[in-house]
């Protein structure tokens, strides 16, 4: 997949999350038109070495 250009819509993704004791799955489409979202990917961050 090629990198997105400024202004292009990101593909749909779902990520696991935890709020308090509740486990959820967050989807980008849940926030479309409501919030601005920034995704940052850190290769090997928070993983055992």
SS (H, E, C) the chain: CCCCCCCCCCCCCEEEEEECCEEEEEEHHHCCCCCCCCCCCCCCCCCCC
- pLDDT of amino acid 24: 87
- pLDDT of amino acid 39: 74
Do the domain assignments include residue 11?
no
Do the domain assignments include residue 46?
yes
- pLDDT of amino acid 47: 59
Do the domain assignments include residue 34?
yes
**Residue appearing with tokens 């308090």:** 20
Do the domain assignments include residue 4?
no
Do the domain assignments include residue 6?
no
**Spatial separation of the C-alpha atoms in residues 1 and 14, rounded to whole Å:** 17
Q: Which regions of the chain are under pLDDT 70?
A: 1, 41-49
Q: Tally the domains of the chain.
A: 1
Do the domain assignments include residue 10?
no
Do the domain assignments include residue 7?
no
Range of the domain at 36: 16-49
- pLDDT of amino acid 28: 86
- pLDDT of amino acid 46: 63
- pLDDT of amino acid 45: 61
């Amino acid at each position: 997949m090629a990198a997105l250009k400024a202004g292009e819509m990101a593909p749909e993704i779902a990520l696991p999350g935890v709020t308090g004791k509740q486990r959820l799955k967050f989807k980008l489409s849940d926030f479309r038109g409501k919030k601005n979202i920034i995704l940052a990917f850190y290769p090997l961050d928070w993983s055992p070495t």
